[in-house]
Structure 1
Amino acid sequence: MAIIDPILNGLQDGWRHTDASKLLHNQHFEADVVIVGTGAGGGVAADILTAAGLSVIMIEAGPLKSSRDFTMEERSAYPNLYQQAGAMKTADKAIGIFQGRAVGGSTTINWTTSIRTPPEALAFWEQHKSVTGLSEAALAPWFAQMEQRLNIQEWSYDPNRNNAALKQGCINLGWDYTVIKRNVLGCWNTGYCGMGCPVNAKQSMLVTTIPAALDKGARLISRANVVNIEHHNGQVLALKAQALNERNQPTGVELQFKARHYILSAGALHTPTLLMRSAVPDPHQLLGKRTFLHPTLLSGAIFADAINGHSGAPQSIYSDQFVWQAGAEGELGYKLEVPPIHPVLIASKTLGYGASHAELMAKFNQLQVTIALIRDGYHPDSQGGTVHLTPTGFSVDYPLTDVFWRAARRAFASMAELQFAAGAVKVLPISDGMPYLSSWKDAKETIAQMSLAPLRTVVASAHVMGGCPFGEDEQLSMVNSYGQSHYLDNLSVMDGSIFPTSLGANPQLSIYGITARNATALAQRLTQGR
């Protein structure tokens, strides 16, 4: 069956795409709206603004790739599609961070899980973070719009064995579980979503909103890194960018962008970094602060039968049994999911070396992995991390505090209990020094005494949020509830950096829905009187 490549077809039909790595001379571009970043926020905003008749330029630091480049091999996917080849970490190396770096952003390489913003998060934002107009009822039509636009619906096929273990454990224990909604159309159920969809079934920005915007005349500049926002007297005057070569190094060619309005959608690390580097007004020192990661713990389990967690939809079941159990401001809750099980991903996130690591990898096809995503940002002792500028870019400090480690211990116990309930032969909490545990009784006693510490305990994150919060109170927020800057009249932020806490849910649908609302309001404002 031939795979239609919308990127290749669009380029042949005359899309206005410039690969900045090919430019030999400095360039100047102008449009009604310039958008920095092409992920969940930038892609949705571009689609809505071009549909309103505005001229739009999308700028992306990463390359333009398509299904013909997605080989389902980790050795090419991570260096080509991920920030720092998938090896990005916090400053102390204690937390690994996965984030996309290509046209489509993280939507190109995520695992398709689509969950509306939990009402508990929305209520907390309204009560404590001065966010207005974002109740569950107010957002419902925007979520519905984006669910229809991106074919987000409940996964109707049986879960793969990795997800089925999570489901069965929940059933046997009487725990809550939910069948996940996925943004896919014609999915082949291969399980390689994290390496870019080779059949264009994943309804990422790469194959939906970005092609739609380009079809309507938008321009895309790839391999262009925006390095400065020129501003004066409450107005953005221009953006300055550097062209990058295929090794992500500046070529020496400089680009300038001018617009009526500017949107930052570079993500929760790069949007605050760009704002700080550009010295935008920040009187309350909020930029880069309260950066949240859903720091995630892993528990491996060996089953007697084959799990084959590399095959089939990566995520199709989750459990919210423990997310809000203690209330929003109580002890930190955690969401239970599973990751896809691919060799490099698992080998780099498990324990041991030499014989012990080889023994674990020898059981690769019988390995089930459950993950616990810690909901950070609500408890008074969970303030998240801080993005700092460095001479070569940025660093992220994320202190793992006592309240996190208490949640981690509970999460390891919950994951072990669930895995044994699902039929695991033995369980291995992914923290250095832990042995294989042969029963739930053994696990309960051992986990209660296990040593937990940075670098000793494997912690990872694929969800970066915060650092440029929204709200109406300027002491708490950088932009208002529509993403409009409090300090620069023609600047908006539309990405996960606006979240004042983590979500307790995978973030892509939250970004889609809130951006749809905010970009629609911006389009109405910019076209008023035409």
Structure 2
Amino acid sequence: MTMQDPITRGLENGWAVTDATRLTESQTLEADVVVIGTGAGGGTTAEILASAGLSVIMVEEGKLYSQKDFRMDELDAYANFYQEGMSRTTSDGGIAIMQGRCVGGSTTVNWTSSFRTPDETLNYWQQRFGLTDLNPDAMAPWFAEREDRHNMAPWAVPPNANNDVLRQGCEKLGWRWQIIPRNVKGCWNLGYCGVGCPTNAKQGALLTTIPGALDKGARLFHGLRAEKLVMNGDRIDHLLTVAMTPDGIRAGKVNVRLKARHFVVAASAIGSPGLLLRSDIPDPHKRIGKRTFLHPVNASVAEMPKQVDPFYGAPQSVYSDEFNFKNGVDGPAGFKMEVPPLHPGMIAAVSPNHGKAQHQLLSQLPHLQSVIALIRDGFHPDSPGGTVSLRDDDSPVLDYPITDYLWHGVRQAYLTLAEIQFAAGARRVQLMHLDSPRFSGWREAKKAITEMPMELHRARLFTAHQMGGCGMGADPAESVVNGFGEHHQVANLSIHDASIFPTSIGANPQLSIYALAARNSTHLATRLTS
């Protein structure tokens, strides 16, 4: 006998959930707090505030999906669960952006890697941005509490063959590696986390904090786009929203006006600055949308002598921080190394091959293995990040220039990835770069990579981590919010997502968002109930 899906059970038991695409009349609603976004930050915020006895309305532009919708189908999942149908990019098309668009946000479709914010990052934030209350000792209890809430622990199952290549290569080269903590419970080790968990093992917001908030009386509107926060004096009076059409892509004609004592924006490092810019929120120092970071990612793909089946098993279970902070926090660009799953649609999209070369590569999929590098951006003057602005239709877009400083990091990462794969026994290695042949040895690869042009659209770059754009800091002249996510100029506005990070963090960000949102929401609950 299978257990009933908790989303189905909750809906049958009377959760206050509204599919806004079915609304036929405009309306006005009120609550103590309106939370915009239902990902790691929004879900945590809603649960904590509702548990404190406050009335909460959650607003989510994407749809509510559940176990029945997660069919391990790339084509369907990318089109429906991701921003812009998995086609979101930076303004010049140079970096592909993987970002969730559904209830639970990216926590519904991420690969479950769960890291605490590195001590080096928290210490840098203290020194550079005056965030003295966010030191490692002060944050440790918040990390621990969220690890318990989301069942985060180092993966106890032996790594799949895909991830084990990273371990083998690091061991041969004398480099550090470790096992990744994952937020799963009863995981079947299928490997399709990126298209939604079909067994409800992933403990993202969809199965934890969102049900927790709804059980406490919170209301959820999905298929509802937040258009504009409307000011009255130094406070926000209400949020204007528009219901999406049934296809979930276009805005319809039904409006919902939401009034509240307090508003929490948790719409992502691209969505949150976009909403604030559309709303003409006070920005005396022009900081909204600035210093947006991505952990730009590059990759190499190896042909291994034995079958790897990179589409099965926990997608990420081994990592290496050997080069993350090796040259200091603000030295040459450091990078974290991890392994991605290789499903047919994904590898076809990121591979620089065409025609016969592409056919040859994909025909070898069971033998292919990949390692990626997450470039740590935002810690050096020559890594200022990008800028979120609005298109003509008021949708947000990110301009992200790749500086020479970052290109140097990308080249060093390519060298390191290829060296690891050859050390682990790869027959051939190809960089995800338009000028890369399939190298048959490390010496050949090293010479070519040293001379290869590092240019946009030649080096294939992507990201699943968006951070910054509403940075926190002690000085209002260089930040949007303080260390509790409270807006410097607007009395009843908080921001509880990765957009408040003043740099990237050098690790997958979901636990950092969960922990900061829990800390800041607990503080906010005390404010609003005292």
Task: State TM-score, norm by structure 1.
Answer: 0.99
Contact kept, 8 Å, 1:299 with 1:416, in 2: the verdict is yes
Q: Kindly provide the amino acid, as one letter, of the partner of residue 42 in structure 1.
A: G
1:526 aligns with 2:502: no
Contact kept? 1:332, 1:404, Cα under 8 Å? yes
Write the distance in 2 (CA, Å) between the matches of 1:444 and 1:491.
51
Alpha-carbon distance in 2 for matches of 1:301, 1:468? 39
* 1:301 pairs with 2:302: yes
Deviation at 1:4, TM superposition (A): 2.7
Distance 1:250 1:504 in 2: 36
Q: SS of the counterpart of 2:462?
A: strand
User: In structure 1, what is the Cα distance between the partners aligned to 2:3 and 2:106?
Assistant: 22
Question: Secondary structure in 1 aligned to 2:319?
Answer: strand
Query: Structure 1 unaligned runs (5+)?
Result: none
* Paired residues for 1:138-287 under 5 Å: 138-247=138-247, 248-287=249-288
Helix, strand or coil: the match of 1:57?
A: strand
Q: How far 1:502 sits from its partner (Å)? A: 0.3
| Structure 1 position 61 matched with structure 2 position 48 | no
Deviation at 1:130, TM superposition (A): 2.2
Pick from 449, 460, 463: which aligns with 2:462? 460
CA distance in 2, matches of 1:45, 1:439: 51
Give the secondary-structure state (helix, strand or coil) at the position aligned to 2:206: coil
For residues 437 and 214 of structure 2, what CA distance do their matches in structure 1 show? 54
TM-score (norm 2): 0.99
Q: What is the CA-CA distance between 1:232 and the residue it aligns to?
A: 2.3
- Residue 41 of structure 2 aligns with which residue? 41
**Corresponding residue for 1:326?**
327
Q: Unaligned 5+ residue runs, structure 2? A: none
> Is this contact kept in 2: 1:132–1:471, CA < 8 A?
no
SS at match of 1:355: helix
User: Does residue 442 in structure 1 map to residue 435 in structure 2?
Assistant: no
Distance 1:210 1:251 in 2: 25
Does structure 2 conserve the Cα–Cα contact (< 8 Å) formed by 1:242 and 1:253?
yes
Identity rate, percent: 50
Displacement after TM superposition at 1:35 (Å):
0.1
Give the aligned residue type for 2:433.
Answer: S
Per-residue deviation, 1:131: 1.7
Indicate the residue corresponding to 1:15 in structure 2: 15
SS at match of 1:241: strand
Among 413, 416, 424, the alignment partner of 2:415 is 413
Indicate if the aligned counterparts of 1:469 and 1:479 stay in contact, CA closer than 8 A.
Answer: yes
Q: Give the distance between the partners of 1:47 and 1:466, measured in 2 at CA.
A: 24
Q: Say which SS state the counterpart of residue 44 (structure 1) adopts.
A: helix
Q: How far apart are the structure 1 equivalents of 2:358 and 2:405?
A: 30
State the 1:97 CA deviation.
0.1
1:469 aligns with 2:464: no
Q: What is the correspondence of 1:70-89 to structure 2 with a 5 Å cutoff?
A: 70-89=70-89
Match of 1:369 in 2: 370
Partner AA of 1:242 in structure 2: V
Tell me the secondary structure at the aligned position of residue 113 of structure 1. Answer: coil
Aligned pair 1:317/2:345, yes or no? no
The aligned amino acid for 1:250 is A
Q: Stretches of 4+ moved more than 6 A in 1?
A: none
* Residue 496 of structure 2 corresponds to residue 494 of structure 1: yes
Checking the alignment, whether the CA contact within 8 Å between 1:3 and 1:199 is kept in structure 2 is no
CA deviation string 1:223-248 (max 9, x = no partner): 00010001122111000000001332
- Counterparts of 1:364 and 1:91, CA distance in 2: 31
Looking at structure 2, the residues matched to 9 and 375 of structure 1 have their Cα atoms a distance apart, in angstroms, of 42
* Partner deviation per Cα, 1:305-353 (whole Å, 9 max, x = no partner): 1110100000001100101111111110011001111011110001111
Instruction: Tell me the C-alpha RMSD between the 2 structures.
Output: 0.8
In structure 1, what is the Cα distance between the partners aligned to 2:329 and 2:287?
Answer: 22
Matched-pair contact (CA < 8 Å) for 1:35–1:42: yes
2:22/2:246 contact within 8 Å kept:
no
Contact 1:130 1:476 in 2 (8 A): no
Other structure's SS at 2:320 match: strand
Deviation at residue 129 of structure 1 after TM alignment: 1.5
Comparing 96-105 and 50-59, the one that deviates more: 50-59
Letter in 1 for 2:343: H
C-alpha distance after superposition, 1:471-512 (max 9, x if no partner): 110011111100011111111000000001000000000001
Q: Is 1:355 matched up with 2:342?
A: no
**C-alpha contact 2:466 2:498 (8 A) present in aligned 1:** yes
Q: What code does the residue aligned with 1:463 have?
A: H
Corresponding letter in the other structure for 1:314: P
- Number of paired residues? 528
Distance in 1 between the 2:35 and 2:435 partners? 47
Task: Compute the displacement of 1:417 (Å).
Answer: 0.6
Q: Is the 8 A contact 2:162 2:370 kept in 1?
A: yes
Matched, 1:340 2:334: no
Q: 2:353 is matched by which residue type in structure 1? A: G
**1:354-395, CA deviations, whole angstroms, 9 ceiling, x for partnerless residues?**
001111111111000100110000111001111111122122
Quote how far apart the aligned CAs of 1:86 are: 0.8
